[in-house]
Amino acid sequence: MFIRLKPGFKIERQREREKEQRGEAVLYLSEQTRSRYEVKLTGDGFSDQSGKLLDGNYLYVRTLDGKLYAAKCGEIGHHSYLSNGKKVTSVGHFIFQRGKLVLVSNESGHYTPTNEEMLSDVEFYFHLSENQDLIYEDHSSVPVAGKIYQYKANDFILAKGEVRDLVPLLTIIDTDRDANKRSAYGRKLKPIEQKKPEPENLTSNYLDDDAIDANHLVEIDCDVLKNSDKAVSSMRVVSELSEFTIFKSPRTESEPGLHDSASLINTARSTKYLNVV
């Protein structure tokens, strides 16, 4: 049995895939990066890749190929980052005490696994840990009842995941907990703030009002321009004071000015100081 990202979080996966295709930095871990979080089991207990015994609260995922990854809480944002948005067989939190696994939960907002979905892997962790006192912490009642229940993992296994007749070791009222410690189970993805697109820095060959002296009237022979495939070398500006000014088209792209006949025609038609003849 495998567990998928819940529909509300698939937009996150789509966004990360698109960023990856564009060559941008992504939050999802690559196979190479994720390998650093693969859990090892030695004679001393559960450890990271360096051999350091795991201790404290960890996010974990078990992938479809059977590999187990765990990251210290706060080191990675969400389970989906650790799973690369892919299907898993179990997901939640581990609590270790100097390499000894003491608690496994199904707390995940992105995957929200049910007890039925967790059953097989809870049994796997029970035997792997060799801890008869292993606790299974169930968060599936949080969205409706606001309660978290802790059971002996062995009792949960024997009951085949049916918790209705089980007496919990501990009941935690989620709403009474510190806001930073409340269950992520059933939470919705926060809306993504859409950044406004940056205005494009476009350059135009059109003359703007500031480029033309208001005391001048520019005369352009459109017939000549239409028949010219090359940039116009100059145009005549007739001043009310009978002064002449020559605007020459640049010979290089780095020089400002008028580059082609179409630009001159459009400039002539759109600028209030120009008179097309």
State pLDDT tens for residues 176-197: 777 666 788 877 655 444 455 5
pLDDT on residue 184: 82
pLDDT on residue 84: 86
pLDDT on residue 218: 41
pLDDT on residue 85: 87
pLDDT on residue 74: 86
pLDDT on residue 120: 97
Residue ranges of the chain with pLDDT lower than 50? 191-194, 204-208, 211-265, 267-277
DSSP track, the chain = --BPPPGGGHHHHHHHHHHHHTT---SSPPHHHHGGGB-EEETTEEE-TTSPBP-EEEEEEEETTS-EEEEEBTTBS-HHHHHTT--EEEEEEEEEETTEEEEEE---TTT---HHHHHHHHHHHHHHHT-TT-EEEE-TTHHHH-EEEEEEHHHHHHTTT--TTPPPSEEEEGGGS-GGGS--TTPPPPPPPPPPPPPP----SS--GGGS-TTEEEEE-HHHHHT--S-----EEEETTS-EEE-PPPSSTTS-S--SHHHHHHHHHH-TTEEE-
pLDDT on residue 201: 55
